[in-house]
Amino acid sequence: MATVMVAVPLLLAAAFVWLPALASVGLSFTKWTGVGPIKLTSCADLPSLPGLPQPGCLFGVQNYHQAVTVYPDFWPAVEHNAIWLGVFICFATPLGMLFAVIIDRGIAGSRLYQSILFLPVMLSLALIGIIWELVYAPNYGLVNSVIGRTGNDNLIDWLGDPHLNLWALLVEASWRQAGYVMVLYLAGLKAVDPSLREAAVMDGATGWQTFWRVVFPAMRPINIVVLVVTVIESLRAFDLVYITSHGNPLHGLELLSVSVTQNIVGETQRIGFGSTLGVILLLISLVPICTFLFQAFRREEHR
């Protein structure tokens, strides 16, 4: 029975996670439109007939070379993903932690506040995008109505202006991410031994010192989880951008996840090139996660 309980999840993970991931790595070295088989032949050796899709072939590292040198959306997408990650780490995560600390103190109505702050997490990202489209609407949106910029001569197009749309979407994403982080830190705060706080108070530590010197280090496992979740959520951001742009790429909203989708399921259907962008996105996400995990586990070993 125990063998079955272990084998079934492993098989499901292999079928739906690991095998597609490995297949994407393999496809990233090919040139394939998704039609017909992939021949184990160099693309340079196959004839290119006008009007007919070239059969799948081995393209080597040319996809990676084209991605970083020719593809116009690549570097703007990397920059925007980095900004997305920076905002999540520097704003959404501390905000969620602050909410968790305040609610953990047992203030009046804490259950109500917790439910309100967690509500965006329970909503789908598609619904969040629709809600914030109404908030940001140029002529009748909440933001422009409050600041009095609804006229045709002075309105602000929050989602259409390439200098504003990324930051507008980051407000949406942070609204949801803060609630997610809050729940994670609430769980971590509940797990901290109360005797640690009592000892800190008896030693004369202030509330701020108790949290940063005692409570926060004791939540190291939760901190690792929050970091991993933050990196993953920032790099796989797709839904809000897709809803906002209505499926068409907008200047200022280039993201790696959007580029992957456009190349794999778009009109061109460049499966190999889209897989290349997916592999690059995976490698970028693994760098900060592996670095932080290595440092965290090394500190644990030195204790």
User: Could you please report the per-residue DSSP string of 69-109?
Assistant: HT-TTHHHHHHHHHHHHHHIIIIIHHHHHHHHHHHHTT-TT
Q: Which helix (H) or strand (E) holds 42?
A: strand 38-42
| Cβ 272 vs Cβ 30: under 8 Å | yes
Query: Could you read off the pLDDT tens digit of each residue along the chain, which spans 303 residues?
Result: 778 778 888 888 888 888 888 888 888 998 888 777 888 888 877 776 655 556 788 888 999 999 999 999 899 999 999 999 999 999 999 999 999 988 988 788 888 888 888 888 888 888 888 889 889 988 888 898 888 887 778 888 888 888 888 999 999 999 999 999 999 999 888 888 888 888 887 877 777 888 888 888 888 888 888 988 898 888 888 888 888 777 666 778 888 888 888 888 766 678 889 999 999 988 888 887 787 777 777 766 666
- Hey, how many other C-beta atoms are within 10 angstroms of the C-beta on 154? 10
